[in-house]
Structure 1
Amino acid sequence: MHKILIFISLLFSFLPVFSQTDEKPVAFETEVNKMSETEYELIIKAIIYEGWHVYSQNTAEGGSLPSEFIYKKAGTDYELVGPTTESETITEYSDIFEVDETFFKEKAVFTQKIKLLDPGVNQIDVNLFYQVCKEVCIPVDHDFTFVLDGGVAVKEEKVIDDRSKGLASSLQLDLKNKELLRGAGEVSESGSGLWMVFGLGFLGGLIALLTPCVFPMIPLTVSFFTKHSEKRSKGIANALLYGFFIVLIYFLLSLPFHLFDSVDSQILNTIATNIWLNLVFFLVFIFFAFSFFGYYELTLPSSWANKMDAASAKIGGGIGIFFMAVTLAIVSFSCTGPILGGLLGSTVLEEGDVAFNLSAGMTGFGLALALPFALFALFPAWLNSLPKSGGWMNTVKVVLGFLELALALKFLSNADMVGNWGILKREIFLGIWVVLFVLMTLYLFGIFRFPHDGPKQKLSVPRITLGVASAGISVYLILGLFTISNLKMLSGFPPPSFYSVFETESDCPLGLECYKDFNTGWEVAKKTNKPILLDFTGWACVNCRKMEENVWSEPNIFSIINEDYILISLYVDDRKELPEDQQFNFKFESGRVKSIETIGQKWGTFQTINFNAASQPYYVLLSPNMEILNEAVQYTDAETYEKWLKQGLAKLP
């Protein structure tokens, strides 16, 4: 990974800079469809030049910036009817950010329905913030005006007055050693991502084997094939065919995601940022969990299984074996359904196109289910070594139920963070997790029971071992809750440390002293004669949190940042409005004028015009005299980062 990043950085150092040229990689057309006297459909069509791509509204957190629409006077002159919909997207894995990124190539169509609240309105103004990338990324603000019923558009001209010129000049730095700057690109390794999802699906299938819906079927089915065949070789062949059909069935279940546009890949790719989808998945996983606890069963209609079983007996041969495999899939749904839900809802986002990820994950799941039938048919003596069915399988289901609850909480946390509700702060999140794992520990040690548990028996060694492991996790979480441990193993999963119920002395990562305004931090650097660690970051940037919690927290690195550098952290995704007297219009060399109205717009533009970059995390070392001390770096490991910091100190004039 490190070598790949170095190669990309060296390569991109020789690429041309596009952000300040007159090249316009995206051309737009607009259209208005009148649906009724008060309802309209606003359509924005983007023609994207070859080699460039624009990010979707629904691209995953932690990667490049998504497109974002601002509908001016919405709620007063008119109301939005539903979300802004998009045309077909492409999803590829970003090795830099280690998330799927969703984007458009060649063309994009955005559609928004509105309903007028004021019949006299004849103009709708819309602002689109988007990021267009080729070898480099350019953040762009674009204004659109939709005229209704043949009215005349009234366009406000953006004026570059003396105040705007003065505020804009503060964004342009007189940098020295700019040749050291390096861009960062994207490396897509979809093949490795598919194998990752396949492996996760296979693991889910192995877990499903241990449930009471599947495990007892193994010896019964294998015995059926080996004893009801004239020759042993015929029985083995039938069992292998049965296993093949199991794999085929789970693969076929993924095909609708390839065939129907109504099941768009965006559905799963937007989980990380869409509030309502997060809440839906939260409720679904709660529902799954209580089914594992035994309060109700998730079953498909029994008539389905009966029909499949009757068909297998009537038809016989290979087709009959296929219907036997379908019967297994239906009968075992109460156990496999929640596990498949976890697979589809949380692991399919690992990499690449969602439909192919689903196919890889479902195939891995089916292979794990099919493997025992094939192996025990080849080696029937192994059946004697299988543990007997019993209460231990219910224990597996309950443990899975607790894990489903823990996963459900992550979806609720996503919604809370994106919505900025402030409900599920870090301490509350960890506290609930502590309760869940303590309850799981008590259950494993037999302190309490669930409805489907059998008579109380002596605890087995595996159950005690699992209970000890659960207790260990509980202790680890408690240490993290009281900040005795930094929970590095869970980095990026709970809310970040600054999202806390307690007021802290510093709102900077790890309690470091930092400045969130460049000029303020620069003045301190000049007074103390210390170099600047310029940190372009984001509130919702997962990799930024990983760097802070896993790299900055290393004692040597923390000491260097705390004692030898002035840390300036600029949040480019901050949508808080600047005070009115700090808002201004910025004119690029191309003549384009951009309104700087939010903190994020200010620092995003600052990053682009000075460092020709638009991704986060992005780190630059500067002397107080604005000399670049080392190449810019992004997401990396602790050893590389420490060496980078020390090299910067050594190059101080």
Structure 2
Amino acid sequence: MKKLLLLLFISIYAFAIEQNFLEPNEAFKTSFEKKDDKLVFRLALGKDIYLYDDKLKFFISKPKKIDIRDDLNVPEAHPYEIWQIHTDDLNIEIPYSLLKSKVNASNIEVQVDFQGCSKKGLCYAPMSETVTVDFATSSALANENKDVQTEVAQNETDIIAGTLKDGNILLVLATFFGFGLLLSLTPCVFPMIPILSSIIVKAGDSGNLTASKGFFLSLVYVLSMAVAYTIAGVLAGVFGANLQVALQNPYVLVAFAAIFVALALSMFGYFKLELPQSLQNKVNKTTDGKEKQGVVGIAIMGFLSALIVGPCVAPPLAGALVYIGQTGDAFLGGAALFVMSLGMGAPLLLIGLGAGKYMPKPGGWMEDVTKIFGIVMLGVAIWMLDRVLDATLIMYLWAILLIGTALYLKVFGHILVKILTTVVLIYGILLFVGAVSGATNPLKPLDKFTSKVAFEETQKLNIVYVKSNEEIDMAVKASNKPVMLDFYASWCVSCKELEEITFKDNRVIEKLKEFTLIKADVTENNQDDKAMQKRFGVVGPPALIFWDKDNNEIKAAQIVGYKNPDQFLEIVNKHFK
């Protein structure tokens, strides 16, 4: 057998000499160049040599193996017979910021695998080149007094992920609880307030709602919400599948909005929402059956609310998911997400405690309050449909709801209620006028009349829409200016905040004119959408990715979540003077 193999190799070598084939080191001339902020891999191809695209792989090989090809700007391959190949020399830049964002280590080994053939008819064996980057002595980190160097990969998400890696566990959990308290002030948590309030009002019908019971009901809701956030977060970190994002499709949102409409109609007294009689009989076999039935319903509502009502992506959430993805430490990452969710739910606990303590004795007024919460439930339904319906149609729905609410409140005779009724009616009419004019922001119904200049300036911004990584690369390479890529989705509340507040600020508009603007609408969450987000480590929208005018990605400038105009300008001006 050995003689046969030796004879085969001799034959192949003789054939190669006869055909004047290049030796492997002549066909593929490779080198690594270490620059201040990046590693450059160069591969020069000999005459008539080509590379297979699917065999060209870039990954971190030590301290652990991580594929990084999707994060790099690899030239587009072209078809040759049945393969996709490269025929031009390669110069692939591997930013140190990318390596540091993937692995927290002072020494990182980078490996490049490739395989190619000669058009004369010989295929070469697979080859591999490796290089070690020592960040302890690298010029990219040695000069720590230079702002540009110390900021490598230090966007908010990376800083938070680093906190998880290096911090004391108790300090980390306390920090994430603080993050949760800050997130409780965002629009993602606001819809949960009327949901929980309506649950407590319903519980108060029986007249035995105490402070302890109100707190208990809120605690069940908040704990269920926290469990949902934690499960969804760990799944997203470990498997890269964001359950919250997956549930933001029109069918789920419309179904959930219909549930809120049903809750509203139930509060108006048209029918009762309750478990089927057969299930009720099983539950009610115990003396506290009704109590258990209510707790289960609240737990389910809290769980679903976290997944569907408030899927916000903010730096703390993104940082925790990046940490889980990089280290596989689902326990600490999940614990951080859990305490963050408790922080988000802290105001909800206060609502339950206060309602139980200060709610007046039951009476006829309870029916009127229940109906008002029915109106609030309709508002939550419209808020959810805002993610799937045309913005102008949503404006009409808000107008109809407010005008209808004003007419309903007319039945009360108190002077304060009459004033409130008048205000609601006027605002409803303004919303209707705004909808007719084409306005899309319910908080600024007359925007088309009062912000005409800003609107016209915004319209002048030329935005290129992209639907794949290939289109992103083409847009970036074609630009002779810095580039900003905006990840957006119609169901993303914070994305709309960016559009309606930050990107309509005159100072921001002037700054954006210095950029080539490209936008990736990931509403559908299809395979191309997921691939784009995976490439840039984006957990979910909104996220802003930046390149300088030389087409180098500026990792430290990456923005996740909503930023007001001042915060946005502070970050952008720091990196793009």
TM-score under structure 2 normalisation? 0.49
Higher relative contact order (CA 8 A, sep 6+): 1
TM-score under structure 1 normalisation? 0.45
Q: Which has the higher helix share?
A: 2
